[in-house]
Structure 1
Amino acid sequence: MSLSPLCDWDDAFANMKHVKDSAELPDFWAARAAGYRADLTRGGHRLDLDIAYGSHPREKFDIVWPDGTPKGLAVFIHGGYWMRLEKAHWTDFAEGARAKGWAVCVPSYTLAPEARIHEITAQIGQAISTAAGLVDGPIRLSGHSAGGHLVTRMLCSDSPLSGSVSERIAHTLSISGLHDLRPLMHTGMNRTLNLDLEEARAESAVLAQPAAAAPLTCWVGGGERPEFIRQARLLSDMWTGLDVPVRCEIDGNHNHFTILEGLKQPGSPITTAFVGPVPQEGP
């Protein structure tokens, strides 16, 4: 005998249903990102596309390079519930970090149902490790929605990252991240994700022991679905006291999609959370 869920979990995770004209967004993102890549090329800025980090066709990342020696490596992991979208939708969101001097890596990964979530976690670990071999200095991680899940999994005691790569992580920014995957078992999406309780528990950062003391920020829009606000607060609450500097930032009235727009601006609060403030010049 199975118990019925206590709420409508499909609705709880249905971002597009609650944002007007959101069905048009994937095509809009793809076109805008393509225009940004074209602008970079015309402007003489370095952009390396489709660097392989594995043998699968989707195991590739792009790097958007700054003008000069990079301060370090910034990684942005896209969302889409582990089953939609790809790196080419998001290139323009690298601009804020690029303008502040960071090399920005944007990977794709194999989508469900071809890959289980734990396999995607391992892929992202390999992507970060490969990119870390190309860019010296500190590493700052960011991911949106399912990408927020994937970057926080890099911080857990069973992280796929080696110790030498983990030690370089200076900060992690989970934007509207999913940190407790168990409720997803009650959604129609699970016909694609194929989560069972064992994997949902193992892939939930809220149930994990953090492995490193690098700071973590859980960033979420105040106009998002309540479940995403709960998930941001939950990880912050669970990891407080576990030797990780962690904070939760609820950003205005942003929804699940507008929350990302500030990443294109070097001076925005969310870009500052991602890669840090611009260093102040001395007198």
Structure 2
Amino acid sequence: MFGQRVSDFEVAYQNGAHIAGSERWPDAWDRPAARFRAALQEKGRAELDIAYGDNPRHRYDLFLPEAKPKGLAVFVHGGYWMAFDKSTWSHLAAGALAHGFAVAMPSYRLAPEATIAEIARDVGAAISAAAGRIGGPIHLAGHSAGGHLVTRMACMDAPLPATVQARIAHVLSLSGVHDLRPIIRTDMRPTLRLDEETARAESPALLRPVDGTRLTCWAGGAERAEFRRQNALLANIWIGLGATTFAWEEPDRHHFDVIDDLADPASLLVRTWIG
């Protein structure tokens, strides 16, 4: 069966314009995130703006369970490597937190200040810093560009110490962009400073995963066709390189609400991530 040729990559990677009521976001994330942080701070279970580097954006928030953590869960936000920070997503820690995991949420430098390779190094540094605080297995999750960044951490040349990388038990990419080459054909290219060489060097789909990698690629069934293709792509390629992979499309979810169930401890998404 032949796929349909992409005639306009700019349109193919647009999300908000194709989601009914998209003007509700990011407020629909920001408000519950602020309430969640405030509640955890009152309980003494939130440590905010922990430095992992010298840049003002080299900060992460750490949310702690009631008992000793079973391990570390890390959520890396999206925004096409150009937008957002850790504060928009705090409420998404609720699911893993309820299962006894400490949850770290980092900010990182954004393009054009940083290249995608430099952003990946920021994420690696943030994960390493949090791993120095919390023992046990590490479960990574990332959304959109964050899906790219967490899968980048499972590559053999990832910007992580081997001791930290060896602790990664599972990587969950939510609507991730795993092959960066199509992004070259969008208006984001100059801001991201992306060319064929750098796209190839930073695309998880073109790199080899470390032995023993467990990967779940999860997208919404109502997403743009390119995100659904990217979702299936990495799982398909990495299983041929020895990883254990699973690809799933959640019916009726789009690019903005596909992450919502991370806040629900009973959801299939949370149980898949930390189970």
> Once the 2 structures are TM-superposed, how far is the Cα of residue 23 of structure 1 from its aligned partner?
3.1
* Runs of 5+ consecutive residues of structure 1 not aligned to the other structure: 277-283
Amino acid in structure 2 at the alignment position of 1:14: Q
Report % sequence identity: 50
Asked if the contact 2:86/2:105 (under 8 Å) is kept, the reply is yes
Read off the aligned partner of 1:249 and give its amino acid letter: W
Q: Which residue of 2 aligns with 1:31?
A: 31
Distance, in Å, in 2 between the alignment partners of 1:164 and 1:107 is 20
Assess if the C-alpha contact under 8 Å between 2:6 and 2:12 holds in 1.
no
- Structure 1, residues 23-78: CA drift from partner, whole Å, max 9, x if none? 33123322221111112233x14100000111000010000100100000000000
1:46-57 map, 5 Å: 46-57=45-56
Residue 18 (1) aligns with residue 18 (2):
yes
Q: How does 1:201-240 map to 2 (within 5 A)?
A: 201-240=200-239
Matched position secondary structure for 2:31? helix
Contact 1:110 1:120 in 2 (8 A): yes
Residue in structure 1 matched with residue 251 of structure 2 by the alignment: 252
Question: What is the TM-score when the length of structure 2 is the normalising length?
Answer: 0.96
2:79 and 2:240 map into 1 onto residues whose CA distance is: 31
Contact 2:78 2:146 in 1 (8 A): yes
1:79 is matched with which residue?
A: 78
The answer to whether the 8 A contact 2:124-2:159 is kept is: yes
In 2, Cα distance between equivalents of 1:15 and 1:171? 27
List structure 1 runs of 4+ shifted beyond 6 angstroms. Answer: none
Counterpart contact for 2:62–2:105, Cα < 8 Å:
yes
Structure 2 equivalent of residue 192 of structure 1 = 191
Q: Which residue of 1 aligns with 2:168?
A: 169
Q: Which amino acid aligns with 1:34?
A: A
1:194 to partner: Cα distance: 1.5
Structure 2: distance between partners of 1:84 and 1:120:
12
Contact 1:155 1:212 (8 Å CA) reproduced: no
Instruction: Give the Cα–Cα distance (whole angstroms) in 2 for the partners of residues 273 and 148 of structure 1.
Output: 15
